[in-house]
Amino acid sequence: MRSLPALYVQQFKTSLAVMLQYRASLIIWLISHLLEPLVYLVVWTAVSAAQGGSVGGYDAAGFAAYFIVLMLVNHVTYTWIMWEYEYRVRHGSLSFALLRPVHPIHADLADNLSSKIITLPLILAAAAVLAAIFRPSLHTPPWAAAAFVPAVLLAFAVRFLMEWTLALAAFWTTRVSALNRVYFVALLFLSGQMAPLSLLPPPIRLAATILPFRWTTSFPVELLLGKLGLEETLLGLGAQAAWILACVVLLRLVWRAGVRVFTAVGA
């Protein structure tokens, strides 16, 4: 464990070096991360205009605030691990990970954090440009702004642990991409990526709240938009902590079982 901080530092340097090798793909990545919230933002602004200026408590400036904050939260919480694991299992790079005296999740976490830190200035600049164009309105009480920081970090932890655990499905099946598609459709609706959860029908809202999805993205966005009371906020932070605990336990169990399968069959 002594060497973990050093590992994170070195992984940061490695990720930086890899990213700088592909400057063009960095631009493409930025555009894709901008485009999705932008599309929803334009659509919902049009809908609210058609509905007489407001839908479910969101006017044009409200939607602008929602999707710009969502873009920032999404930047902090998203992972790409589910697209990588099948390759790792099939092509043997997992074997190398298993030969190393460090749990492979550390390399993934370090890599994820590194790319986030490296791309943060880009996404902040993009948010500033969007804010200048769409003029969002934010009514955030100071306590909510303060609570936003732990909320977004916990949201990242929930999503990272959950998606890392789900990625381990690659140990059992070669059809991971089908599973991934189901997951990402659920994420799109239930985590508030497509629309604020408050605009969705109550059963979907309930599902989003019971399942981990709301806590991976929507919750910190709602918080910063000033939509949540103190009690709801504390409950939310508690729900995040509970999901993190559950995911850690699950991850350990699934990882152990997955490695057992992997080392029984070989790759």
Six-digit token string for 132: 């200048």
Residue from 26, 59, 95, 188 in contact with other proteins (CB under 8 A): 95
Is the distance from CB of 137 to CB of 45 less than 8 angstroms? no
> What would the x/- binding string for other proteins be over residues 245 to 264, using CB under 8 A?
--------------xx--xx
Q: Is 174 in the site for other proteins (CB under 8 A)?
A: no
Q: Is 24 in the site for other proteins (CB under 8 A)?
A: no
In the bound complex, what is the minimum distance in angstroms from residue 174's beta carbon to other proteins?
13
Judged by CB under 8 A, which stretch of 34-42, 82-90, 98-106, 232-240 contacts other proteins?
98-106
187 vs 36: CA distance, rounded Å = 14
Which among 81, 157, 156, 145 is positioned nearest to 120, based on CA atoms? 156
Residue from 39, 51, 92, 232 in contact with other proteins (CB under 8 A): 92
Judged by CB under 8 A, which stretch of 12-20, 46-54, 145-153, 155-163 contacts other proteins?
12-20
Is the distance from CB of 38 to CB of 130 less than 8 angstroms? yes
Q: Is 28 in the site for other proteins (CB under 8 A)?
A: no
In the bound complex, what is the minimum distance in angstroms from residue 173's beta carbon to other proteins?
14
Chain positions 49 to 68 lying near other proteins, rule: CB under 8 A, are: none
Nearer to other proteins, 21 or 32 (CB): 21
Q: Is 96 in the site for other proteins (CB under 8 A)?
A: yes
Nearer to other proteins, 186 or 267 (CB): 267
Q: Is 115 in the site for other proteins (CB under 8 A)?
A: no
Nearer to other proteins, 14 or 140 (CB): 14
Q: Is 93 in the site for other proteins (CB under 8 A)?
A: yes
Judged by CB under 8 A, which stretch of 41-49, 67-75, 88-96, 202-210 contacts other proteins?
88-96
CA–CA distances in Å: residue 204 to residues 66, 184, 214, 215: 19, 15, 11, 14
Q: CA triplet 202, 215, 73: central angle to 5 degrees?
A: 115
In the bound complex, what is the minimum distance in angstroms from residue 11's beta carbon to other proteins?
7
Neighbours of 68 (CB within 10 A): 23
End-to-end CA distance of the chain: 28
In the bound complex, what is the minimum distance in angstroms from residue 81's beta carbon to other proteins?
17
**Site size for other proteins, by CB under 8 A?**
29
Q: Would you tell me which residues interact with other proteins (CB under 8 A)?
A: 2-3, 6-7, 9-11, 13-14, 17-18, 21-22, 92-93, 95-96, 98-102, 107, 259-260, 263-266
